[in-house]
Amino acid sequence: MEKILVSRCLLGHKVRYDGGASGPFDQLAAWQAEGRVVAICPEVAGGLPTPRSSAEIPGGQGIDVWEGRAQVLTAEGEDFTSAFLDGARQALALVQRHHIRIAILKANSPSCGNLLTYDGTFSGVKVSGEGVTAALLKRHGVQVFSELELPQAAIALTQL
């Protein structure tokens, strides 16, 4: 049975930066009942507390963080880069351990966003790009979807 990596907040776990959750979602609950779900919050796995200051990637995207061209910072200038990198590495370790080829990660997150992230100005503006974890997983062949793309993820799962 194909396993799926899922952001813990999408399963209703209160691990978001603001102490909240973003789920649950019926499709994810069904996959969880089937035993397919491997859950992680990369930010918490990397050592950040809940709640925590919101973070963005000023002047870049997840790949820029991996290549040392950008950092993950809070509005107050606190550097969360190492925690984000560590959490992404832990997500990749789970993917490799469970032979996962599909991930459902939180939309717009500086860690998990797969299509859009915030622009780094803390003004609510979104730009095309991906977060630190999404970038790493994509570069290792994982198909990354957000909670806004669950039907597409379900189709991809049937095609594996």
Q: Which single residue is written with the structure tokens 């032979």? A: 99
Residue type, 139: R
User: Which pLDDT belongs to residue 9?
Assistant: 97
pLDDT band, very low/low/confident/very high, at 138 (cuts 50, 70, 90): very high
pLDDT value for 37: 98
Convert the pLDDT of each residue in 12-42 to its tens digit.
999 999 999 998 899 999 999 999 999 999 9
Q: Is 82 helix (H, G, I), strand (E, B) or coil?
A: helix
pLDDT tens-digit series, residues 87-129: 999 999 999 999 999 999 999 999 999 999 999 999 999 999 9
Q: Would you state the pLDDT for residue 77? A: 97
* pLDDT in the model for residue 24: 86
Q: Which amino acid is at 150?
A: L
What is the share, in percent, of the chain residues with pLDDT greater than 90? Answer: 99
User: What's the predicted TM-score (pTM) here?
Assistant: 0.97
Give the Cα separation of 116 and 108 in Å (integer): 5
- Rounded mean pLDDT of the chain? 97
Summarize pLDDT for 59-70 with one digit per residue, the tens: 999 999 999 999
Q: What is the dihedral of CA 50, 112, 105, 89, to 10 degrees?
A: -90
pLDDT given for residue 110 in this prediction: 98
pLDDT at 23: 84
Return d(Cα 122, Cα 106) in angstroms, integer. 18
